[in-house]
Amino acid sequence: MRPQETLLAANAAAHQTPQRRPRSAQAEPSDQTNTATPVATKGILPMDTEAFSQLSGQIMSVMNTVIDGKEDSVRLALTVLLAGGHLLLEDVPGVGKTLLAKTLAKTVDCTVNRIQFTPDLLPSDITGVSIYNQSSQSFEFRPGAIFANIVIGDEINRASAKTQSALLESMAEHQVSVDGTTYNLSEPFMVIATQNPIEMEGTYPLPEAQRDRFMARISMGYPDTSAELAMLETHQSVSPLDSVRPVATDDQVAAMIETVAGVHVSPAVRSYTVALGQATRNNPHLRLGASPRALLQLLRASKAAAALAGRGFVLPDDIRNLAHPVLAHRLLVERSAASQGITADSVIEDMLATVPVPGAVAPITSVPQSVKDSR
C-alpha cells in the first residue's frame, strides 16, 4: 500500500461518524414559499486515493474541453473547490471568467444559482426575506440566491458595499442570519465571483474583509495563439458549455473535500507557512499583510493541491506555488511603494526568495543542501 493510501485509510478509520453540516432546503422560484428548515443528512466519508484521482481527472478533462489553453486556471479553480474555499476571478472583460465559473458549476450535479450584481441589488435578494403569510398569519422565510451549492456572483463590484456585505457571513460561516434566525447553507458551498479591475465607473471596490474571504484569486489573462485559434473553431455555432454534463455529485465532492482534509501537514511546513505570513506583516512596502485566515486558507489550498498530485502530504513547493493566488489579493501596498512600481506579486516573489525553505540551510536563492551533498 502506498503512503498516501495508508494515510487516507487511517483517516477514514478515524472518521467513522464524521459530522457534516445539515443541508437547508434549496432555494425555490420567487413565486413559491420555502421555510428553509434544515434537515439531517448522512455522514460523508473520505474517498480512496484511486477514486479521488479518477474523479478529479474527469472534472478537469471536461473543463479543459470548454476552456481552451487555461489548464492552470482550471486546476486552481478545482483546487479551491476541493479545499472548501471561495474563488475570485478578476480580469479584463471577455477572457472567460464567467465561462470558467459556469463550467466548474456544470461539472457537479448540484444546485447552482447565478447572481448578476447591479447597483439596485438588495441584501435581501441574496440572503432571503421573511414574508407575512395571510392564511397562516405568520412570517415565512423565502431563501435568497445564496441558498445553493455553487453561487456565481457576476460583476460583484457593481453592487453597493451594503449588498456586498450580505455575503460576509455566508462565505465565512456557511450560514445566513435573517430576522434573528440562522439558516445553514447546503454543503458543499462555494462562491465564485467575477469582477473587472480596470473599469472604475459604476463600481464599488471590494472591502478588505470581503477580499479576505476569497481563498484565491485567478487572473485568466489572454489565451495564446493556438488556444485562441482553437476557441474560434470550437465556439463558432454552439458553445461547448452546452454539451457539458455533470461528472460528480454533490456528495462525491463532499467526500473529496473530506479526503483533502486528511492530507498530512508536517510541523516544518506549518512553520514555513507562518514565516511567510509574518514576512508580509513586517514588510515595509505593505500596509496590510496576510491575515491568520489567509495562512489557514493557504494551507488548505496546499492540501488540495497535494491530493490532486496524488500525495497524502504537503510539500513546501505546494505552499510556494499557491502563495501568489492565495495571498496577493489580500495584501495592500503602501502608496509610496506603489509609485515605485512595487506590487503585491513582486513583494511575494521577494518573500519566497528570502524566507528559508524547510530542509534548506539558506534562502531558496542558494544551492539546496541536497545538491551540495551529491557533489
Report the residue count for the chain. 375
- Residue holding cell 456557511? 174
DSSP string across 183-246: EEPPSS-EEEEEE-SS--TT--PPPHHHHTT-SEEE------HHHHHHHHHHTSSS-GGGG---
- To the nearest whole number, what is the mean pLDDT of the chain? 84
Strand partners, 108: 248
Angle at 47 (CA atoms; ends 41, 52), nearest 5 degrees: 130
d(CA 269, CA 318): 10
- Span 263-375 CATH architecture: Orthogonal Bundle (1.10)
Q: What is this structure's pTM?
A: 0.81
pLDDT of residue 240: 84
Long-range residue pairs from 198-206, CB within 8 A, at least 24 positions apart, any chain: 198/92, 199/93, 202/119, 202/158, 203/157, 203/158, 204/157, 204/158, 204/159, 204/160, 204/161, 204/164, 205/157, 206/156, 206/157, 206/164
Q: Give whole-number Cα distances, 327 to 2, 260, 273, in Å.
A: 33, 20, 11
363: closest CA among 301, 302, 316, 300? Answer: 316
Domain ranges for the chain: 263-375
- Residue holding cell 471577455? 94
Residue 313: how many other CB atoms lie within 10 Å: 16
DSSP string across 155-174: TGGGS-HHHHGGGHHHHHHS
Signed CA dihedral, 253, 257, 263, 265: sign only: positive
pLDDT digits (tens, 9 = 90+) for 80-122: 999 999 999 998 888 889 999 999 999 999 999 999 999 999 9
Residues of the chain predicted below pLDDT 70: 1-44, 360-375
Is residue 276 a contact partner of residue 351, using CB atoms and an 8 Å limit? yes
pLDDT of residue 202: 72
pLDDT digits (tens, 9 = 90+) for 200-211: 777 888 989 999
pLDDT of residue 201: 72
Helix or strand run (H / E) with residue 320: helix 316-327
pLDDT of residue 227: 85
pLDDT of residue 247: 94
Three-class SS state of 179: coil
